[in-house]
Structure 1
């Protein structure tokens, strides 16, 4: 068992203290011997709730995979892996998912020798079948958002996967909604059930709820006017269909808004670009299907806008759970067309939200303060955050105050820089080297 200074980890993550759910999860996982089911609302910190005790349960001296974390999608795999790496505990990890060559992942697995692997069911099965991951030393399995995994049709793949883990000692399941029944294949033994869900409250009391009436069936003009009133705050606009996301995103861009489009039909790089732009403040609006309602760890989202009304209460819970995370406040807006009615499960003090007339002067689109640069070198090229800061300052003529969040991946990096300075940076870095290596520097649009 690894000795971990929890206070130092929390300090690195910028968290003052653990909430009650996280404290009880840690106690059950560390001190108990039972399997554990954690039911807690979206945004309550379930990723940290299992990672903090897990890193203390693993043998950091080993070079074997000791824990698998099953997730429903690549975004959650990547973000959970990022959280563990940012904790700085010395526990190695890797994210594995479809959309890229399994052979490349195998090569990284051999190099990194991770203790924890985060992955989607199909890709984890692939690595286990090929012997890229040795199941013999895997003691712990975590199924994050297990209800979503089942909804997405992963039952057979998860059943096959768990059946290969013959030396499992404990199982940990986490969800933001209460699944009626845990499938038999999970083989839960004596179980501690931690239920922090609040009955009959799909929207928590830190979220203000507003109704916005659209005079037309096509709500685009109403959406645009609503966004104008919200200024430079961060908003997610939820729609039910991919083509609707594309159409709405195109309309908003023509109106001058800086947006990110996000749905399951995009290429991996496009999805990563969209999320990164939104999370670092380079775009103020994320236009998305319900794919963005789960597994996105973006702490400061001010507004949730339902362009299409949610089809189920669960969909509503997960959408609204993107805002008012931890102890923050948030707002959610339902845009209601002339022939639409709010679903019965939307309850609470719903206020009418009045939009200014189109002729009102002085109301313009608020542009983001930052822009995102793609830099075509990363960790495998021995590039660090410090190298990028030095490159942008020395070659791009920036001050440190002009630079925001930087994320360095294996083969590329993202950097947020001041919008006012971005054209200067692109001009001055053209053809320049970073640590003696030529690289591509592009604006993420």
Structure 2
């Protein structure tokens, strides 16, 4: 695999894994591939390498399309492609992103387009995406994409690809019937799903005396301490209610669900990634496609409706040889779901716990990003020069198209903000504030 040496180096890995090698080989021999592999196993590289092999530098226009069920997953795939440094232009299209920006990016057709069904369908209808040259289609997490609600858009997109030759479908579960409109004929199925659960994943449960389990959740989080924790709820309304109640009790939390504006979603995830909050309250939207390292605990505040949901939620932790714990909160009228096949250890909670230590970071919003030619180096320079910060006082920086988020040591935040609020970045006056 010498030809992939630079790509392996970019990802700091020594060799491709068995699944990725099998995918490359199968894609060289067949036009229709179903790739089943566990969450966190490197599936994205497993389908992007075959896509790369199919691209031709001598052919102008768009040659390949990747459809993902959520904007976060689409952005994650784009990030992997850019890390690969292929030399091929890529554009990512998703709801919540300025359509005008995407339209400008599509004027000079990228070789690869990645996006969500609704936004891709919209661009195709507006003829912003020229479909004649697209010969390769990837449906990532197809089990989710093909759920009701996405079917119509996916069917429209596939019908709009007159010269489609290759189809690659990927998933971490094997539960869905593939509709005829996908056009999958005699597919080669690569099944790398492993039945055994990660040994690094411990399963625990705690019983709640009250039907409203919020007090149990609060005491549980206090017992777990200041560790990275995702709390899963089944509904958006429950996410906001649960987040609010935990905040009222003195915990530093952020919440995340599909009805939020894109900037709010970006801010919430950034605060969770950079340590401004160690508790993320969310729907199952966060069960897929989010690459957040070092998550220690998964709490099933609401029990998952299906085994697949349970598996995907748990897949957020115990990744890449790290250990993690999934904890189910069982209410008085609930029992342990049948799909929990592992031995679960009961946790007994005390009545009183001290609040965990508050996070040491806060997040600043800066109203400039990639489209303003602002990068991470610019932001570090600005904060050290104008904000009088040392480099160790600046944490994780995330630069989006039109804005950026940066973690600042909380003890320095107020003084720094006062120094920089009226200063310019790249000779431009921009909004700078504590991220909402």
Q: Could you state the TM-score of these two structures normalised by the residue count of structure 2?
A: 0.94
In structure 2, distance between residues paired with 1:418 and 1:5: 43
- CA offsets per residue over residues 204-247 of structure 1, 9 Å max, x none? 33210001111222211111111112222211100111111111
Matched, 1:197 2:193: yes
* 2:373 alignment counterpart: 382
Q: Contact 2:201–2:325 (CA<8 Å) still a contact in 1?
A: yes
In structure 1, distance between residues paired with 2:357 and 2:306: 33
* 1:248 alignment counterpart: 242
Q: Contact 1:236–1:288 (CA<8 Å) still a contact in 2?
A: yes
* 2:425 alignment counterpart: 434
- CA offsets per residue over residues 106-158 of structure 1, 9 Å max, x none? 122225x4221111222212212222111111121000011101124211221
Q: Contact 2:30–2:188 (CA<8 Å) still a contact in 1?
A: no
* 1:309 alignment counterpart: 303
SS of the aligned residue for 1:135 comes to coil
CA distance 1:258–1:6, change in 2 (3 Å): farther
Give 1:5 shift: 5.2
Structure 2 residue aligned with 1:267, among 220, 242, 261? 261
CA distance 1:420–1:57, change in 2 (3 Å): farther
CA distance 1:426–1:4, change in 2 (3 Å): farther
Return 5+ residue gaps in structure 1 as ranges: none
Q: Contact 1:4–1:89 (CA<8 Å) still a contact in 2?
A: no
* 2:340 alignment counterpart: 346
- After superposition, where does 1:19-418 map in structure 2 within 5 Å? 19-29=17-27, 31-60=28-57, 62-110=59-107, 113-199=109-195, 203-358=197-352, 363-418=354-409
Return 5+ residue gaps in structure 2 as ranges: none
Give 1:321 shift: 1.0
Give 1:316 shift: 0.5
Give 1:19 shift: 2.6
List 4+ stretches of structure 1 deviating above 4 A.
60-63
In structure 2, distance between residues paired with 1:260 and 1:321: 20
Q: Contact 2:200–2:322 (CA<8 Å) still a contact in 1?
A: yes
Give 1:39 shift: 0.7
- Once the two structures are overlaid, the 10-residue window that deviates more, 297-306 or 139-148, is 297-306
In structure 1, distance between residues paired with 2:255 and 2:332: 26
* 2:9 alignment counterpart: 11
Give 1:101 shift: 4.7
Q: Contact 1:370–1:419 (CA<8 Å) still a contact in 2?
A: yes
CA distance 1:244–1:47, change in 2 (3 Å): same
